[in-house]
Amino acid sequence: MISQRLGSCENCWFNPLQNGSVGLTIGFCVEHRVVLRDSSTTTCGKHFRKDLPLPTSEKFARSHRARYPDTTVVLDLETGKKAEDHVQTSTETKLLSTDPVGDLAKDYGYQDTKIASLAVLRKGVDPRMEFAGLNLSRSYVYRCKARGGSWTSGLNIFWWIKRSLASTPQFVASDFRYAAASSLDRQEDLAKWSLIMARLLVVSDIARHAEGALRDLEQIAQEAASASDNLVSRKLLAWIRSIGIPKMEKAMPEARYRELMQPLLEQPGDI
């Protein structure tokens, strides 16, 4: 097996429609605004892996960009040339509107601000929608900090995630796009574990950019992984309830969050 698909659009945080075996058979790139008809065969210079912690993703992205310098179009992973229209990519987005996550993805940052789109994505209990919101949150926070942007959105996202951190994801059969692992039960639990870990990855990313006590959460995904190294979601959730959430509360107590948000909420137009 060639793992090069880990460097493809399938595994990029700008594609909110696919996450491992979870998602639609087609992807969507929120950067190039095209449907990814064969996402495991395409990539581009903006590629950012969603399966890894930020420092490793950044390192991979740097070497990937050296090999695929073109950031203006989607490329064929094998040849590095422009991907084939209609075969690998498509500008026809009408079909995406028939899927609730696809519909939100195609409008991401288009009709409303990106943070407004993220606010909608976080509200559902649909795990595909949550995956989409978490991956786009990572790209959003990363870009905000890279551009020297405000910290308000990062705090909001942190707070949203903290509130849902201990909830058990509920997948349905149609959430899966291919078979994986030795049984369906195991595939489902690995998907749950991955979704809960995706929550922690966003927290870890925010902590990496933060200063003060929040910074103590930078290794939270690693600590959670050590505590659930058999990748059982129940065990991971138990760790989150007993250790993870208290740790987050210590790093950012509700009173401190409200204190930080209050002056920002008084500014019209800021969220």
Residues that bind another protein (CB under 8 A): 1-7, 20-21, 38, 40-41, 51-53, 56, 59-60, 63-64, 67, 77-78, 178-183, 186-187, 190, 193-194, 197, 221-226, 228-231
Neighbours of 112 (CB within 10 A): 13
Place of tokens 């740097």: 62
Q: Which two tokens stand for residue 149?
A: 């942007």
108 vs 176, beta carbon nearer another protein: 176
In the complex, the smallest distance separating the C-beta of residue 266 from another protein, rounded to whole angstroms, is 38
3 vs 98, beta carbon nearer another protein: 3
123 vs 215, beta carbon nearer another protein: 215
Those residues whose C-beta lies under 8 Å from the C-beta of residue 270, and which sit 6 or more positions away, are 150, 152, 264
Among 222, 196, 229, 225, which Cα is nearest to 208's?
Answer: 222
Phi and psi of 51, rounded to 5°? -95, 0
In the complex, the smallest distance separating the C-beta of residue 253 from another protein, rounded to whole angstroms, is 26
Distance CA 80, CA 71 (A): 11
105 vs 224, beta carbon nearer another protein: 224
62 vs 94, beta carbon nearer another protein: 62
In the complex, the smallest distance separating the C-beta of residue 180 from another protein, rounded to whole angstroms, is 4
In the complex, the smallest distance separating the C-beta of residue 145 from another protein, rounded to whole angstroms, is 21
In the complex, the smallest distance separating the C-beta of residue 234 from another protein, rounded to whole angstroms, is 15
In the complex, the smallest distance separating the C-beta of residue 173 from another protein, rounded to whole angstroms, is 16
31 vs 188, beta carbon nearer another protein: 188
What are the Cα distances from residue 143, in Å, to 114, 138, 146?
11, 9, 5
Q: First vs last Cα of the chain: how many Å apart? A: 46
Q: Which two tokens stand for residue 82?
A: 């422009």
Among 68, 61, 73, 70, which Cα is nearest to 34's?
Answer: 73
